[in-house]
């Protein structure tokens, strides 16, 4: 019977072992992904942002991947080796193993003669890159946005009467600080989703729901990955409460009320 890691402690021990073996040349990326080409298009199979640490170290070990921004090729044989190296972690049922599932599916997709690529990003708000795989991963991280030609990004947020009153107090120039039980500020990426929340949630909670629209510097918005909350069009940014003041400093123009529901 082969090796198996049944506990989180064993997985953490393996992670530390692999990281030590890689030495000082290894850099932890802010995000990393595995991609492949199909029918002339780049398919981004999975993106990890601040997670998948053991899987990243396995790939670094197999493919001599340094973790710096850029891409390195991964052959079918290399992918086989990575799957075999990570497989013992599957014995631990305390966590999910999405990278291992992705790798197995990808292995079937590329066949024996195909290849994939590992992509690393030292930051997710890079303005651009000459590596087409890096560009594809950045596009996947920031998908679904309205990025305008003037360097701004349009965002929407549904609000109730209380939050609307605070916006009015600021002259519609700033978002109010989050309350202690509100660790995340959630703007959304399209007006339809904002209207749905205002109609279905704010009206039920307070009798009225309003849709606001505002723009921020795109360079700021790209610090945060797109998050999908349920349906395909339910796209959001998750901005930590402590960053709301920074968000306000990057607002371009006034916050507008563009819809009302009662």
Closest CA to 55 of 25, 21, 79, 91: 79
Based on the fold, state whether residues 19 and 134 are members of the same structural domain: yes
Based on the fold, state whether residues 40 and 157 are members of the same structural domain: no
Domain stops at, among 141, 159, 183: 141
Domain stops at, among 124, 141, 158: 141
Q: Is residue 3 part of a domain?
A: no
Q: Is residue 14 part of a domain?
A: yes
116 forms bridges with which residues in the sheet? 74
Q: Where are the alpha helices (DSSP H) in the chain?
A: 8-22, 53-63, 76-86, 98-110, 132-141, 161-169, 191-197, 203-206, 218-221, 244-249
Domain count, the chain: 2
Average pLDDT of the residues in 19-44: 94
The mean of the pLDDT values for the chain is: 95
Based on the fold, state whether residues 200 and 250 are members of the same structural domain: yes
In the chain, % of residues over pLDDT 70: 100
Q: Does position 1 have pLDDT exceeding 70, yes or no? A: no
34 forms bridges with which residues in the sheet? 46, 118
Q: Is residue 43 part of a domain?
A: yes
120 forms bridges with which residues in the sheet? 32, 70
* Each residue's pLDDT tens digit, 87-124: 999 999 999 999 999 999 999 999 999 999 999 999 99
Q: Is residue 59 part of a domain?
A: yes
**Domain range enclosing 80:** 8-141
Based on the fold, state whether residues 191 and 71 are members of the same structural domain: no
* Each residue's pLDDT tens digit, 164-186: 999 999 999 999 999 999 999 99
> Please, what sign has the CA dihedral across residues 132, 134, 135, 136?
positive
Based on the fold, state whether residues 120 and 156 are members of the same structural domain: no
* Each residue's pLDDT tens digit, 60-86: 999 999 999 999 999 999 999 999 999
Based on the fold, state whether residues 105 and 164 are members of the same structural domain: no
Q: Does position 231 have pLDDT exceeding 70, yes or no? A: yes
Q: Is residue 26 part of a domain?
A: yes
Based on the fold, state whether residues 128 and 234 are members of the same structural domain: no
């Amino acid at each position: 019977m082969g090796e198996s890691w049944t506990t989180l402690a064993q997985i953490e021990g393996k992670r530390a072992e692999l990281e030590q073996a890689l030495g000082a040349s290894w850099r932890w990326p802010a995000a990393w992904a595995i991609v492949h080409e199909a029918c002339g298009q780049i398919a981004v199979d999975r993106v990890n942002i601040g997670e998948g640490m053991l899987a990243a170290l396995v790939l670094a070990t197999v493919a001599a991947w340094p973790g710096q921004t850029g891409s390195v090729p991964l052959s079918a044989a290399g992918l086989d080796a990575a799957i075999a190296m990570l497989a013992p972690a599957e014995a631990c049922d305390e966590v999910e193993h999405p990278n291992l599932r992705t790798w197995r599916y990808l292995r079937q997709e590329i066949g024996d003669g195909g290849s994939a690529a590992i992509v690393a990003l030292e930051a997710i708000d890079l303005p651009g890159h000459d590596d087409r795989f890096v560009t594809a991963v950045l596009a996947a991280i920031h998908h679904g946005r309205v990025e305008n030609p003037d360097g701004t990004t349009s965002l929407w947020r549904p609000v109730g009467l209380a939050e609307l009153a605070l916006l009015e107090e600021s002259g519609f120039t700033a978002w109010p600080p989050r309350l202690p039980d509100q660790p995340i500020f959630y703007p959304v990426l399209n007006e339809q989703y904002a209207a749905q929340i205002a109609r279905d949630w704010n009206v039920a909670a307070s009798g009225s729901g309003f849709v606001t629209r505002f723009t921020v510097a795109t360079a700021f918005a790209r610090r945060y990955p797109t998050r999908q909350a349920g349906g395909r069009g339910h796209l959001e940014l998750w901005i930590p409460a402590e960053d709301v003041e920074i968000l306000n400093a990057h607002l371009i123009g006034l916050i507008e009320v563009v819809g009302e529901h009662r």
